[in-house]
Structure 1
Amino acid sequence: MTQEPVISVRGEALLEVDPEIAHLSVYVQSKDDDRRKALDRLVANNRHCLELIRSYGDAVEKLETGALTVTPVLKYRRREGDINYYQGTVWIKVTVQDLSVLGELVTRLADTERTRVDGPYWALRRDSEVYAEAARQAVHQAVQRARSYAEALGSELTGLVELADEGLTSRAAETFRAEPMAAYAAAAPVAAAEEPPPLDLEPRTQTVSATVEARFTVSRPSFG
Structure 2
Amino acid sequence: MTHDDQNPGHHPSVPHGTPEAPRLAVRGEAHLEADPELARIGITVTARGTDRRAALDDLTRRNTTTLDLVKTYGEAVEELETGAFSLTPEFTKHGRGERIRTYHGSVHLTALLADFTALGELVTRLADQELTRVDGPWWSLRPASPVHATARRQAVHDAVQRAREYADALGTTLAALVELADIGAEDAHRPMSYGMSRAAMVRGPVDDTAAPALDLEPERQHVHATVNARFTLHPPHLQ
- 1:59 aligned residue (55, 60, 76): 76
- 1:37 aligned residue (47, 50, 54): 54
Q: CA deviation at 1:222?
A: 3.1
> Which residue number corresponds to residue 172 of structure 1?
193
Q: Say whether 1:85 aligns with 2:102.
A: yes
- 1:100 aligned residue (106, 117, 124): 117
Letter in 2 for 1:61: E
Q: Say whether 1:218 aligns with 2:230.
A: no
Identify if the C-alpha distance between structure 1 residues 80 and 162 changes in structure 2 by more than 3 Å, giving closer, same or farther.
Answer: farther
Letter in 1 for 2:200: M
Q: Say whether 1:128 aligns with 2:151.
A: no
Q: Say whether 1:17 aligns with 2:34.
A: yes
Q: CA deviation at 1:77?
A: 8.1
User: Do the aligned residues in 2 keep the contact of 1:74 with 1:80 (CA within 8 Å)?
Assistant: no
TM superposition score normalised by structure 1? 0.90
- 2:158 aligned residue (124, 141, 150): 141
Distance 1:79 1:149 in 2: 82
Q: Which runs of no fewer than 5 residues in structure 1 stay unpaired?
A: none
Map 1:155-194 → 2, pairs under 5 A: 155-167=172-184, 169-170=190-191, 172-173=193-194, 176-185=195-204, 192-194=207-209
Q: Secondary structure at the match of 1:93?
A: strand
Q: Say whether 1:152 aligns with 2:169.
A: yes
> Which residue number corresponds to residue 5 of structure 2?
none
Letter in 2 for 1:147: R
Distance 1:79 1:25 in 2: 40
User: Do the aligned residues in 2 keep the contact of 1:110 with 1:181 (CA within 8 Å)?
Assistant: no
Q: Secondary structure at the match of 1:150?
A: helix
Distance 1:171 1:123 in 2: 6
Letter in 1 for 2:30: A
TM superposition score normalised by structure 2? 0.85
User: Do the aligned residues in 2 keep the contact of 1:104 with 1:199 (CA within 8 Å)?
Assistant: yes
Q: Which runs of at least 4 in structure 1 moved beyond 3 Å after TM superposition?
A: 77-80, 176-179
Q: CA deviation at 1:80?
A: 5.0
User: Do the aligned residues in 1 keep the contact of 2:20 with 2:234 (CA within 8 Å)?
Assistant: no
User: Do the aligned residues in 1 keep the contact of 2:141 with 2:192 (CA within 8 Å)?
Assistant: no
Q: What RMSD over aligned residues (CA atoms) do the two structures have, in Å? A: 2.0
Per-residue deviation, residues 80-104 of structure 1 (Å, max 9, x unmatched):
5211111110000111111121111
Radius of gyration: which is bigger?
A: 2
Counting aligned pairs with the same residue, the percent is 49
> Which residue number corresponds to residue 90 of structure 2?
73
Identify if the C-alpha distance between structure 1 residues 77 and 83 changes in structure 2 by more than 3 Å, giving closer, same or farther.
Answer: same
> Which residue number corresponds to residue 6 of structure 1?
23
Larger strand share, 1 or 2: 1
Number of positions where the alignment pairs a residue of Structure 1 with one of Structure 2: 218
